[in-house]
Structure 1
Amino acid sequence: MRALMRLALATLVAAVPFAAVVAAHAADDPTPITVLTSDFEDGTVQGWAGRSAETLAASATVAHGGTRSLSITGRTATWQGPSLSVLDTFEKGTSYTISAWVRMAEGSDNARLSVERRTAGTATYETVVGNTAVTSGGWVNLTGRYTLATDVDFLSVYIETASTTGSFYLDDVTASYVPALPIQTDIPAVKSVVTEFPVGAAITGAEIIGTHGDLLARHFTSVTPGNALKWDATEPTENAFTYTQADPLIAFATAHGMKVRGHTLVWHNQTPAWVFANADKATLLARLENHIRNVAAHYGTTIGVWDVVNEVIDESQSDGMRRSTWYTVTGLDYIRTAFRVAREVAPAAKLCINDYNTNVAAKRDALYNLVVQLKGEGVPIDCVGHQMHVNVSWPSIADTEAMLKKFQGIGVEQQITEMDVSIYTSSGESFPTPPADRLLAQAYMYRDMFALFRRYAADVTSVTLWGLADDNTWLDTYPVARKDAPLLFDTRLQAKSAYWGVVDPTKIGTSPSPSASTSTSPSPSASTGTSPSPSASTGTSASCAVTYRVTGSWTGGFQADVKIANTGATAISGWKLGWQFTGGQTVSQLWNGSVTQSGSAVTVTNAAWNGALPAGGSASVGFLGSWTGSNPVPSAFTVNGTACAVL
């Protein structure tokens, strides 16, 4: 998510178009310094070990480079795989690029590259590269960035799979870093230009160290701990509260005079299984109340805004409510309880309800109806949070303005809580480096969105970007594993054209923004859940190809993405996709289409906005599902009754 701007060139921006500045120095990037190499050519495992009882051995069966690779066999669980200690290799605060080549011995699965760290015996697991499709037909590269942010007594990198326990091969593993540049001090601070409301960034421990901390303190007036205040981080087991992740972030903010947004007290994700175990309504609400009383009280007045409940809307439901366990057990009472208890514990804090895709009319209206109902009951909702995970071509300014207007006059503030602008417009795209036209389109989107927010400063009381710089963004692993560039600063913490779109739009020219479009359709890559209410359409069938990928997996559940490509010469004016599950899987929620399931048979029909597939065109749907035992990939797919090639 990276063009480099050197300090020496910063003074040229006023006179030279930004695209020219990017081109002038891109070739000057220094050669990375490699600190780790594993090629297994010496016939040994080179320090790698299994995470359990699996067997690791140098193998000459296949190799990515040279004649040998590492063979991993005898796995009995998906989390088992090769692990290498990097405790004496990685230094705190340095951003490392880790690259590994993986190949299945048989069949296919999704592989991911992760890091395990331990401090005082407590283990933490961090994904570096999310689920990536791997087969026995060729080598696949897993590449991601990792920055160690805390002192540890154990640190290892490892490879695991998502669904099966099949054998696989590993080869040509490297870790490298590029020496850090100092932050630019001769450009305006974002907070000095945008003064109508606080501008913040979501952070992890990596963002308060060294030059990252310098960049954060210089440009932003507020922070949001991205994951450190969620339930799994603060109460992993019942009534055992820990704040080791969040306390350093909030201490940094306090020391630098920055405001803090608390995220989040209630969410259907990242909630430990024990919360819902054997829980009737009274038990679940009691656990919720206890959690909020402890976490919110721990920080008192230090946290001035809380996202009390997060992502409760599913506009495809008749009542607009997400069918989470919270809702199915308690109805709306979990929301009522969360806000009322939060008000008791943090009486001075602003209390928000937060959701994504609120610029989509159906979702916007469902959230509006809920807020009006609950406020009418006396539930203390102070603000509505609009996440604004968007991309370079979606949404339109008109739809975003309609979102802001909708919530005027009902007694709530509005906050932009998680903004980023992906350079991708579909799940099928992947760029080795960000194209210049996408970076410019991104700058226009930031320009136009911030101009809109500033016009509505009477309603919008803060804007938070979901990250500090492109070297650490969740979009590198979601909805698929690929390098994204969604923020104002690049991977070396230098200002991008997106920064100038916010700070001084004259530096990026006067071309119209793609966001001027009147399209109301959400992009699959921007969405984190359900898209607008779909409607089926019919059309003639044509040649087709389908790609099915499991993009996330956990005990009893998974997330998948399905891409339909029209490989024929005739346009498809509406599509119906079908497949059979063979492992007892069940689709629980789907976006970018509508779904029905009868036994093992799944049928997905297009949404109103993605039914037209020109020759060579494609559409993607994503879904959440449940599974037990195994999660095999469907072997056959049809579109409008015609069998498709499976990629």
Structure 2
Amino acid sequence: MNTSFLCLILVSLVAVATADFKNGGFESTSSWDCFGSAHCAISNSGHSGHHAMVVSGRKETWEGPSQYVSVTAGHTYQVSAWMKLLNDHSSQNLEINVDLEFTDGNHVYMAAAMHGNAKVHDGWFHVVGAFSVPNKPLKRARVYFESKPSASVNYAVDDASLTEIAGVQHVTTAYLNHQIDVHRKNNINLHITTAHGIDKSNVKIHILQKKKSFPFGSSFNAHKYNEGAANGKYRDFVNKHFNWVVPENALKWYDIEWTRGHMNYKLALDAIHGVKSHGIKVRGHNLVWSVDKYVQDWIKQLSPNEMKTVVKHHIEETMAKTRGLLEHWDVNNEMLHGSWYQTRAGDPNYNMELFRIAHHADPNVKLFLNDYNVVVSSASTGDYLAQAKKYKAANVGLGGMGVQCHFPEEIMPDASAVKQRLDLLSTAGVPIWVTELDVVAVDENKRADLYEAALRALYGHPAVHGIIFWGFWDQTHWRGPHAALAKGNNMELTAAGRRVLDLFENQWMTDETHVLSHAGDNFHVRGFHGDYEVHVIYQGKELSNLKKSFTLNKGSDQNVSINVHT
């Protein structure tokens, strides 16, 4: 991982350490608890100094060195350490995690920093990230190290530090509203003239947005869409409320070809044709998935050369069948958290070859990275930035970065932290899409608050080019009914659904009427980007021959001239 840029950004914000670890140099075991059944010992060599801590004998991945630290509710902290593996696993992650215990007895567990796909031969990794403490009464906080998914892998840790980050911009709702106005709107400049005898007090100019250009969408269940679940109301909900969608599972390789040679593209293609007939655009998710448990057993039986041949054929065939139907493809899902294909290929750059194959198969589709713990937390933000820069520089057809935003249960999204991470990722210079958004709260009104906070933070950031929910219906949502926007067979809106659709279809759409005698002959309206109609109403009746239609694009004001006559 190239952490130098991330460190530069973070260190520029860090004040004098106020919450540092005791004995962060691991020159002894002092001040560190060896959590669980792990064995923690001091080695004769380290990353710096004379020693490091070696962790072995674990039964659970989270067992190992930990320390209670002094942090403050509402504050943000950088955490860092040097870690290395002592024996290999096919795909092993090194993590620094945080356990926040609040006075109400609840715990919040955060992945503060992570380096994925570590190997022994890579030596010492600088694992660095940040975490924000929710602004609620805090009882105590514990930082602990983890190596997973295998507890049999031993590791060493050295040079740990914890510092409060000063100077992080506190993002308010007023700031986000200003950002939304600046980045999601442009002026509609109206010049109105009137024929002789027209009473301007009887002239109304109605500026009506008919369609939003910013992508708001959701994943959807292709089975439910095709079969007309809940008497067609599921399909109607998708068609009515979203302008972008992604078939949740139907395009994943294991859904298409669970058994070798038995392929089913019809499910996905029928659903894609259905939504496209309603003017909805579609993302493809995903061509392959590097996480071990999502790789079909029959693929795992192949030799490296056979596997590469089969993967190439699958990508080319799938992209041929979906040619002209999709706007995006997630090529290899969650590469920060899995490396099965590159490990089997014996080539650490094999994932780049997958991008090359996909780009050659269909140069018109934008190819995406897609991963998590990059915006909701900063555990993998630095890794993701380095990955995006590497793929962009390699010229393999990278079209964007997908950021999964699965916010933790019952916790208010931190707009300041979201902005900081998006600011950092935006330096890669490629479009960012929120590809998987959800929150969880038992109380519907609280869920509505959480969704609104997340949406304002994401929609208000100029680097975000689209926002996709990862489900909306209580009967199919992967996180259960407490994440849902709609519930029951009648697709009744929850309080969260009502709030979200009010944002999408009311607050973030333009619909204004101005009386000419008050507005004047020349006035402007700040309009959200999209398709518009301007209607002229005179003496209570529309002058339909004067209707104007246009598209208001990002970065370009629209001039509209109308001569009102009867």
Greater RCO structure (CA 8 Å; 6+ sep): 2
Q: From the CA coordinates, give the structure whose radius of gyration is larger.
A: 2
| Higher helix fraction (1 or 2) | 2
Q: TM-score range by the shorter chain?
A: 0.3 to 0.5
